[in-house]
Structure formats: C-alpha cells, structure tokens
Amino acid sequence: MAVSKETINTIAQLARLEFREEEKARFGQQFEQIIEYFNALEAINLDGVEPLKTILDADINVFREDEVKREITTVEALSNAPKHNGVFFKVPKVIG
Amino acid sequence: MASELLGTKYEAVIGLEVHAQLLTKSKIFCGDSTEFGLPPNTNISPLSLGHPGTLPVLNKEVVEYSICMGLATNCSIRPISLFARKHYFYPDLPKGYQISQFDEPICYDGYVEIELDTKGDGSKTQRIGITRIHIEEDAGKSIHDLDIDTLVDLNRAGVALIEIVSEPDIRTAQEAVAYLTQIRQTLLYLGICDGNMEEGSFRCDANVSIRPIGQKEFGTKAEVKNMNSFRNVEKAIEHEIERQIGIVESGGAVVQETRGWDAGSQTTKPQRSKEQAHDYRYFPEPDLPPIRVPQVWLDEIRSRLPELGLQRKRRFVRDFGLPGYDAGILTQEQSLAQYFEDASAALSEKTTDRYKLVSNWIMTDVMRILSEKKITANELTLPPAYIAEMADLLASEMISSKIAKEIFPEVLEGKSPKKVVEERGLMQVSDNSFIIEIVEALLSENPDEVGRYREGKKSLMGFFVGQALKNTQGKANPKIVTKLLQERLDA
C-alpha cells in the first residue's frame, strides 16, 4: 500500500517535524513497510472479538488519596530546560 | 436587521461545553498542590512536567466529585470507564498528550432543569440534556506577550477538570445563561468547584449554529471561546447568532471554525487553533486502569448529596410561603440560603409575614453588606438571630420600619436589636392617650391645613401623619396615628 506524500506531510505536521524531500521519500518507504507488517493482522478472523482497551482488568481501583506532596523545587524543575528565566520555561514564540 | 429574523425566520441551536476545575487539594494524577496564585512553576513534579519514567495515579476525590456532579445532573454513571490520550503539541502540555476520557466517559445521558419565567415563580421550566461528563487534566499556561519567547507556567498542568457537555437543546443566549447559572450553582452546592470565571476555574465554550425554523438538520456550527463572564457568554452568543444570520441572508455559508469573543470590539473573531488538523489520535491510556464504580459506592455517594439549589428554592416557596423571586435570590448561594433558614428558625412566631420580613432584610441590607465586603453569608458577623429579632419587633409593632432602618447600623456592630431599642427608648408608642395628645396639639397648631382637608384635600392626611410621627421621633405607631387623625378630621 502506497503512502501518499500528503499523508507524510500530515504526519510531519502533527509531530511538528520538518522533513527534507529525500527524507520524505525514505520515510514513505518505511511507513509502507510498517503498514504492511501490521496488515498481517488483517488475515485473522476477529468476528465477535471485543477490542482490547486495557490489560489491567483486575476488579480493583488503583487510587491515591487527595494529599499534597512537594516533590521538587522550581530551580530543580527548570534545571533540565534548554531555556528558562529562573521562573518560567521559555520556548520559541507560539502564537496563541 | 439580522436580529429581527431570529425567531421569525431562523432559530439558533446552541450547545455548551463547561470546564470546571475540581476543588481537590492535589492534582489529578500526582501530589502537586492546586493552590491558585502561587509563583510560576511552584506546583510541579516530575510527573506534571512529563518526565520519562513517571506514572500517573488517580486521585480518588476526583472520581467522587465527578460522580457527585453526574448524579446531581441526572446522569447515568458507567460502572467501568476508561481514560484516553488526546494528542496535540503545545508547550503548555508537557507530555504531548492530555489524559482525558473519550468514548466511555464516567457520566452520560443526564439533564438539568432551567427556569425561564421572568417572575422566578417556576411557571416555565425547560430541560436541557447533558450528553456527557468526563474527567480530564488541565493544561498549563502560556504567556505570549511578556518576552520575545513564549513563557510557560505549569502550575495548572494536571489540575483535575470535569467537562460537562450539553445537548444542542439551547435556543437563545438567555437560555444559555440560565443553563450555565444552573450548572455553576450545582457545582457550588456540591462544593466541588469554586465557579470563578475570572480566574478560569469555570470556563465555557459555545457551539452555535442557526437554521431556518422548521428545518430538522443542524446548520454549520462555529465554536465560540474566550468568554470569561456570564455577561460575555450572553453577548458573544447573541453576536454570533446575528453574524451567522447575516451571512446566510446575504447568500453566504457559515464556515465551521473556532472563534474567540473579543470584548473590546464586542465581536467574535476567527481564532488560530492549537491543532490545525484537529487530529487528536485518541487511544486508550495504557498507564491507568479503568475506573470501577460498584453500586455500593454509587449508593454511598448518592446518600451524601446535599439538597440542590432548585430543590431548595421550591422548598422555600412551599414551606415559607415566599414569592418565587425571593426564594430564587435567597437560594442562589448555599450559605445565604442557610442564613435565611437560621434566621427563620429563630423567629418567635413562625408566620408567612415574618418569613417575608426576614427575606426582605436579607435581600436588601444583608446582601448589600455581603457585596460591599465581598464575603459570603457564613463569614458575616451579624448573627441570623438578630434578623429574626428585627422581624419580630416589626411584626409585633414594637418598632416602626423607620426605626428599624435607623437602628440597623448599630445592630450591624453586633448589638441585639432588642437591646438597642430598649437602650435608646425607641419602643413604638401604641399608648392612645399619649398619641391623642400629640394629634390634638398638631391639629390646633395647623388650622389652615385642617380647613383645607375638610374642604376635600384628602391628600393632606400624609402631612398630618408625617408631622405626628416627627413629633414623636418616629416612635408613634403610624396605624394608630392615622386612625386617631381620621376620627378627628372626618368626624
């Protein structure tokens, strides 16, 4: 199954990535291979099989109580950021 | 004008999406505080920053609160509901996806009743369907206008929200406001959201379309955002309806888009959306197990639900004989309603007249003080029993309404009305012999007015009563004064 250039552009846009033309061609081929791989599933008869939405089907809830816990400081939080001003994370201008 | 065609040629179809921040102490999936107004990036942790290796654990209170709202809006509650990932890239969403619910929200198929009559007597009500209520996490805040870069504050990222989605049952901007008022009041009565539109803990988006009256199919809708007050919701929807009628009337077609209300120009303007493609690629959240709501838990939550606003309003009309208008105002907010009930319980005689007096005092002077001091009734130092005393003194004609007004400032300072009246000797005088003296002196001092009255100028009665009251510093019982004056003048 061929993956159109349009699909590749859409995927790039959703992932906020920019591809060069030769990359698009290469990714197109790779996407096709991935889809083909999953197409093998089409061969399986799934009549009457419910979609599996969770594998955590134990009959219990996993909750935490509503308690405040202070884990890290602002300084620690910002320390991994490529850009910050000591108070805010800074990212390239996004128009709101 | 396009607005004249609304209701004659076109009708509007409106559905509202309300986001309500839940009043939990900690965030939905981790222990970060939810306190508002702290310095940026204070309420954060590896999880809310979206660091690899962190795993969400659901706050139990969030589930309870959501179920409360579902039950209060007549929803069915799903015994098993799931979380889903909603993907989009934006700097205020560190993980690159929002944990939300998609095809199996916790609450579905409910309704609220709204009252549309102008008198507030509940003579015209309408049901607005609730499609669903789902649980999700809030995003952080991006600030675009303080720096050449965009600044990101993640204090709000991961605060618990419920999104309440209405059916497209709403037809006018006024109905939208009535619905919103009802939803907000219910959240406040349940104590699960503070309903603050300015601070953004209660937000509303509107899906608005128009269609020719009689047409079943919906028109193309626009989603209107950025309305941060009830007044703005009303104005934005009115404007949007008019804009769409204008387009259709001039032969155009409405475009499906997101528009933002611009309070400056009082119009809606196209908004650049966060995700142009609107392809959220939902899939089941693998990091969280399903929420299970067994019947016993549901029953237990149901048994704890408080009486809600509309029920309380109707009880006030039924049990206290109050006009619907009064009952509506008194039950707008829970602590005010409680204040009324506490005052009523302290009355020495439980009569409709006295309940109405209590209502009058609360709706005028008490509410004025509340809005001046920006406090709620439970923060008021004036004990409700003093309002009852005022009503008792008035109803038993111990004081006139003029004296009541006069002593109120002292009562406000924390003095019992009875004490003030006694100390200042303001007890209304109903002693005939004393009043006869005053009345007779008055008539002999004003022979001209007496003459004119007897010639037919009956309106002078007001003058005589006023003078008599003045001569007794307002203490004479006006009914007795009037009666004695009539006996003498009309004889």
pLDDT of residue B486: 85
Helices (H) and strands (E) in chain B, counts: 17, 17
The shortest C-alpha distance from B374 to chain A (Å) reads 29
pLDDT of residue A54: 82
Contact B288, B104 (CB under 8 A): no
Which of B24, B32, B44 is the best residue to mutate to test the A interface, defined by the most A CB atoms within 10 Å of its own CB?
A: B44
Which pair of structure tokens corresponds to residue B219?
């028109």
Q: Where are the domains of chain B?
A: 2-300, 309-424, 432-489
Of B118 and B59, which is predicted with more confidence? B59
**How far is B78 from B82, CA to CA, in rounded Å?**
10
> Residue B431: which pLDDT band, with cuts at 50, 70 and 90?
low
Of B101 and B403, which is predicted with more confidence? B101
Size of interface A-B (CB pairs under 8 A): 137
Contact yes or no for B90 and A13 at CB 8 A:
no
Contact B387, B358 (CB under 8 A): yes
The shortest C-alpha distance from A12 to chain B (Å) reads 11
In a domain, A58, yes or no: no
Contact yes or no for A68 and B33 at CB 8 A:
yes
**How far is B274 from A11, CA to CA, in rounded Å?**
16
Does residue B30 surpass a pLDDT of 50? yes
Nearest CB to B144; choose among A59, A87, A94: A94
The shortest C-alpha distance from B74 to chain A (Å) reads 24
Show the CA angle centred on residue B252, arms to residues B246 and B255, nearest 5°. 95
Of A11 and B273, which is predicted with more confidence? A11
> Residue A96: which pLDDT band, with cuts at 50, 70 and 90?
very low
Chain A residues closer than 8 Å to B87 by CB: 14
Does residue A27 surpass a pLDDT of 80? yes
Which of A11, A52, A61, A67 is the best residue to mutate to test the B interface, defined by the most B CB atoms within 10 Å of its own CB?
A: A61
Contact yes or no for B289 and A53 at CB 8 A:
no
Cut 0.90: pTM above it: no
**How far is B101 from B164, CA to CA, in rounded Å?**
12
pLDDT of residue B273: 56
- Is A94 touching B (CB cutoff 8 A)? yes
The shortest C-alpha distance from B85 to chain A (Å) reads 12
**How far is B467 from B480, CA to CA, in rounded Å?**
14
Q: Which residue has the tokens 């004119």?
A: B452
Handedness of CA B261, B266, B270, B274 (dihedral sign): negative
Does residue B395 surpass a pLDDT of 60? yes
pLDDT of residue B461: 87
Q: Cα B203 vs. chain centroid, distance in angstroms? A: 14
> What burial letters (b/e) apply to B436-468, b meaning 16+ CB within 10 Å?
eebbeebbeebeebbeebeeeeeebeeebbebb
Does residue B275 surpass a pLDDT of 60? no
Per cent of chain B over pLDDT 90 is: 70
The shortest C-alpha distance from B342 to chain A (Å) reads 33
Q: Which residue of chain B is at minimal alpha-carbon distance from A52? A: B284
Of B2-6, B15-19, B232-236, B450-454, which range is least confident?
B2-6
> Residue B441: which pLDDT band, with cuts at 50, 70 and 90?
confident
In a domain, A22, yes or no: yes
Of A26-40, B245-259, B451-465, which range is least confident?
B451-465
Residue B288's DSSP bridge partners are none
**How far is B209 from B274, CA to CA, in rounded Å?**
22
**How far is B229 from B271, CA to CA, in rounded Å?**
19
Q: Cα B99 vs. chain centroid, distance in angstroms? A: 30
**How far is B467 from B472, CA to CA, in rounded Å?**
9
- Please report which helix (H) or strand (E) contains residue B130, including its range: strand B125-137
The domain total for chain A is: 1
Which pair of structure tokens corresponds to residue B394?
């008035």
Does residue B428 surpass a pLDDT of 70? no
- The DSSP-derived string for A10-44 is HHHHHTT----HHHHHHHHHHHHHHHHHHHGGGGS
pLDDT of residue B466: 87
Of A59-68, B88-97, B402-411, B423-432, which range is least confident?
B423-432
Beta-strand runs (E) in B228-332: 257-262, 267-270, 283-284, 291-292
Which of B150, B273, B281, B293 is the best residue to mutate to test the A interface, defined by the most A CB atoms within 10 Å of its own CB?
A: B150
Candidates A82, A88, A93; CA nearest to B152 is A88
Question: CB neighbours (10 Å) of residue B116?
Answer: 13
Contact yes or no for B272 and A64 at CB 8 A:
no
Nearest CB to B40; choose among A60, A71, A87: A87
In a domain, A23, yes or no: yes
In a domain, A72, yes or no: no
Does residue B234 surpass a pLDDT of 90? yes
Nearest CB to A77; choose among B44, B59, B151: B44
Show the CA angle centred on residue B440, arms to residues B437 and B446, nearest 5°. 140
pLDDT of residue B298: 97
Residues B166/B170/B176/B182 CA torsion (nearest 10 deg): -60
- Please report which helix (H) or strand (E) contains residue B324, including its range: helix B324-330
Contact yes or no for A87 and B154 at CB 8 A:
no
> Residue B437: which pLDDT band, with cuts at 50, 70 and 90?
confident
Chain A residues closer than 8 Å to B30 by CB: 69, 71
**Dihedral pair phi/psi, residue B26, rounded to 5°:** -115, 165
Q: pLDDT digits over B329-385, tens only?
A: 999 999 999 999 999 999 999 999 999 999 999 999 999 999 999 999 999 989 999
- Is A60 touching B (CB cutoff 8 A)? yes
> Residue B247: which pLDDT band, with cuts at 50, 70 and 90?
very high
Chain A residues closer than 8 Å to B33 by CB: 68, 70
**CATH number of the domain where residue A35 is located:** 1.10.20
Chain A residues closer than 8 Å to B277 by CB: 10, 13-14
The shortest C-alpha distance from A16 to chain B (Å) reads 7
pLDDT of residue B450: 87
Q: What is the mean pLDDT of chain B?
A: 91
- Is A65 touching B (CB cutoff 8 A)? yes
Distances in Å between the alpha carbon of A78 and those of A89, B51, B299, B369, B420?
7, 12, 45, 46, 62
The length of chain B, given as a count of residues? 491
Of A23-32, B204-213, B389-398, B467-476, which range is least confident?
B467-476
Q: Per CATH, which fold does B432-489 belong to? A: Arc Repressor Mutant, subunit A (1.10.10)
Chain A residues closer than 8 Å to B281 by CB: 14
Mean pLDDT of A43-58: 84
Provide the residue range defining the domain that includes A29: 5-42
